[in-house]
Amino acid sequence: MTPSLPERLAPRLGLAALSGAGGVLCFAPFGLFWLAPLVWAGLFSLLRRAASPREALLSGLAFGLGFFLPGVSWVYVSLSVFGGMPWWLAGPAAFLFCAVMALFPMLAGWLFKRWQPAAFWRQALFFAALIAAVDWLRGWIFTGFPWLAVGYSQSPPSPLAGFAPLLGVYGLSLLVALGGALLLRRRSGLPLLAALAAAGFGLRQVEWTTPDGEPISVALIQGNVPQEMKFRPEAFFRTLDLYRQLIETNPAQLTLLPETALPVFLDQVPPDYLAALKDLARRQDGDLIVGTLTGQGEHYYNSAISLGSSPLQVYSKHHLVPYGEFIPPGFAWFMAYADIPMSSFSRGPQNQPPLAVAGRRVAVNICYEDVFGEEIIAALPAAGILANLSNTAWFGRSLAQPQHLQIARLRAAETGRPMLRATNTGMTAIIEADGTLQAALPPFTTGVLKGEIRAYRGMTPYARFGNALALGLMAMCALLGLTGRRQVAGSADAAAGRTSRI
């Protein structure tokens, strides 16, 4: 008896979902970067063997659900545990979000089978181009959510991280998918993947940027203020005292505090407190950068301000988080079920100069702004140091913190700039200009990470051209794949014509 379509598809879709779940292991905190080519080789094999574009579409969807449901499960935590949304709404909302993300590998699966080339190596090129292209598409459509783009799995210590200053994260996505696809031809695939790794290792030895000036001392403050207490009035002065004590006992030329460390509008902070912080920074002939709220009335901003030897400067976050920091049109009803304070921020200016602090120029970004590589490079070459202020306490003890640190490490490698990360609950870290981790604090602890860092100057190819090189490579791979398909189709049509004449 011939099995029905659901019976025939069930094992395939189950394997696709399992493969997607395995892909989460390639990213932090697991860090099995070497597994990534194998995972995407599995997806490539499933798509090649699909009987129709519909089967390939469903395989891509199943892979995406298996990948995103565990990979960004912290979305549920932010909505339910800290957002106050009832579980019966937070659960479906988190699932729907992951389902939307799964549409991107689904699209890649359908396009691959719809235009599948005949030759294997052309299939591999076309597959790699599609995987990288949907990662890139996910990075900007609907304001963008490029979290868990395939290339992030190859942050240091992966040898493929050597390609980051050239091609950025989406170029790495292409290389991983291509290397994985070629693994299905072991005789040629393994040597080619080894050659890619060797080339990446060699590129890691290239110094794309150079130190600029002497090292400066830094202190990164991790307050570990519980999210449920952060915006409560009764905890306000305890929070202020905590940060002042940590700053006073850990002097440095440049001190960073987390996003919204001062969880009120700047003009609501006691003036004597701001004066005290300013004096503490001046004792070191330095400055501190602290997250707070600025603006008034209907227009207020998620900002970072500088205090100390340099004049007061402000950076206001430009790339806001949908639902968390602004309400998309038509979704006010949805936010009525959540208790998320300050969820209607205004956007800061698009092009803001780096902050001139501690004798250096520091490009500040807030929260998940560092997920967008082309926005980070807008501050270059002026900035010599990158700094991220975050509060990922919204996501509890989840994969969000180590995943975010991994993303920051790739930003450093792409730009050839060190990255300083000051977070409320983790991961507070000092990242070197090549993406290696100098030091990090344990998450969910109160502490100060002290160290030294140097500013860097110069421009990597990625800093100069952004994603243009990666997009060009994707287009070239897709063209090479589809050119072969057209030639095969043309030959088949000609043969059919000769047969009909006979």
Q: What is the pLDDT along the chain (502 residues), one digit of tens a residue?
A: 556 667 678 889 999 999 999 999 999 999 999 999 999 999 999 999 999 999 999 999 999 999 999 999 998 888 887 677 788 888 998 999 999 999 999 999 999 999 999 999 999 999 999 999 999 999 999 889 999 999 999 999 999 999 999 999 999 999 999 999 999 997 878 898 999 999 999 999 999 999 999 999 999 999 999 877 777 888 899 999 999 999 999 999 999 999 999 999 999 999 999 999 999 999 999 999 999 999 877 788 999 999 999 999 999 999 888 766 655 555 554 555 555 555 578 899 988 999 999 999 999 999 989 999 999 999 999 999 999 999 988 888 899 999 999 999 999 999 999 999 999 998 999 999 999 999 999 999 999 999 999 999 999 999 999 999 999 999 999 999 998 555 444 444 444 444 334 3
Helix (H) or strand (E) holding 305: strand 299-308
pLDDT of residue 187: 80
pLDDT of residue 345: 83
pLDDT of residue 485: 58
pLDDT of residue 366: 96
> Which residues face 440 on adjacent strands?
429
Please state the separation of Cα 37 from the chain's center in Å: 19
For the chain, domains (ranges, CATH) are 8-206+467-494 (no CATH), 211-464 (3.60.110.10)
pLDDT of residue 85: 79
387: helix, strand or coil: strand
pLDDT of residue 335: 52
Residue pair 161/410 in contact by the 8 Å Cβ criterion: yes
pLDDT of residue 496: 40
Residue 228: CB atoms within 10 Å = 12
Helix (H) or strand (E) holding 58: helix 53-71
How, if at all, do strands 355-357 and 360-366 pair? antiparallel
pLDDT of residue 499: 37
Residues 443 and 428: their CA atoms lie apart, in Å, by 8
Q: Which residues are catalytic?
A: 259, 317, 367
Place of tokens 């968390």: 324
